[in-house]
Amino acid sequence: MKSHLITLMIALVAGYSGSYIFNTTLFDAKQASNKVNSQSRNSQNPFQTQAEPDDLKDQFEFFQFKIEELQNQVNALKTSQNDTVVTQKNNRKKPTGRITPNTENLIASGINADIAEDILRRMSQQDYKRLELQNLIQRSNSITRRQYRKELRELNNNKILLRSEMGDDAYDQYLFISGQNNRVKVSSVMAGSPAESSGFQTNDIILYYDNQKILGWPDIRTATVQGDIGSYTSVEIMRDGAQMSLMVPRGTLGVQLDAVQIEPD
């Protein structure tokens, strides 16, 4: 009987001690967890910087500029790429990559030699200024950085465009002479679209939209957002070597396009 009582007391003491140890350990673990969480909340991410509102605005403007710069590069690549080359008199090997304008091609396009050299020099000066501003932006503090970014935006807004300097016809010749795409061709017509109801067909080459010369897909994108929805305008196309006119409603045309090259008239 005495041995049973001793055994029972040992069991009770062991159970109490175990419960105490378990509860104490659990309490300590909770405290440690809360401490870690508190430290985690109070500590700063080493990869995250605390930016002032002006700095955040500067960063946003910088990333916005980089996105626009990348978009311009993508557009240039799309313009220079060509899946199907169309020429009327001769076949030319398409160049790859971005084409740098040169005096010879500009003169061959009908531009005076002095004017051609002046255009290229001003474009080169502008390119240098752009690189210089980008370098200064990386080097400067937040105050001067804003000023340099403002100058860079103004520079980009007043970018020298070869097409504007030359005019549509001479620029068209330049694109062809330098082996670049200078037209867009309908690769497919979307079902139920204005293009389908207006009579567009696959392989139609778009020459003019509302009397605006079309030399690339950005021209179509710009032209189709102009004018009032519901009004109609004319689109000049070339089909099987013959030029014809189609009337289309303004707005989304509903075609997929490929860049092609043809010899200007």
pLDDT digits (tens, 9 = 90+) for 149-164: 999 999 999 999 999 9
> Tell me: the pLDDT tens digits for 193-242?
999 999 999 999 999 999 999 999 999 999 999 999 989 999 999 999 99
Q: One-letter amino acid identity for 210?
A: D
Whose tokens are 């001003």? That residue is 122
Confidence of residue 99 (pLDDT cuts 50, 70, 90): confident
Length of the chain: 265
DSSP for residue 211: T
Instruction: Give the range among 64-73, 183-192, 207-216, 232-241 with minimum mean pLDDT.
Output: 64-73
What's the mean per-residue pLDDT of the chain?
77
| Residue with the larger pLDDT of the pair 53 and 239 | 239
CB 260 within 8 A of CB 185: yes
Q: What is the pLDDT of residue 59?
A: 61
Q: Which residues of 62-90 are buried (b: 16+ CB within 10 A; e: fewer)?
A: beebeeeeeeeeeeeeebbebeeebeeee
Q: What is the pLDDT of residue 74?
A: 55
Structure tokens at 145: 């950085």
Confidence of residue 38 (pLDDT cuts 50, 70, 90): very low
* Sequence-separated (6 or more) residues with CB below 8 Å from residue 134: 152
Q: What angle do CA 243, 248, 253 make, to 5 degrees?
A: 100
Q: What is the pLDDT of residue 41?
A: 46
Domain spans in the chain, listed from the N-terminal domain onward: 53-177, 183-260
CB 110 within 8 A of CB 170: yes
For residue 75, pLDDT over 60 is answered with no
For residue 34, pLDDT over 80 is answered with no
Q: Which residues pair with 212 in a beta bridge?
A: 209
Torsion angle defined by CA atoms of residues 9, 12, 14 and 15, in that order, rounded to the nearest 10 degrees: 170
Confidence of residue 142 (pLDDT cuts 50, 70, 90): confident
CATH class for the domain made up of 183-260: mainly beta
Whose tokens are 């500009």? That residue is 106
Q: Look at the pTM and tell me if it is higher than 0.75.
A: no
Q: What is the pLDDT of residue 67?
A: 72
For residue 102, pLDDT over 80 is answered with yes
> Among 178, 187, 248, which Cα is nearest to 217's?
187
CB 131 within 8 A of CB 44: no
Alpha-helical segments (H) within the chain: 2-42, 53-80, 103-108, 113-139, 142-157, 162-166, 168-177, 194-198, 217-223
Please tell me whether residue 86 adopts helix, strand or coil conformation. Answer: coil
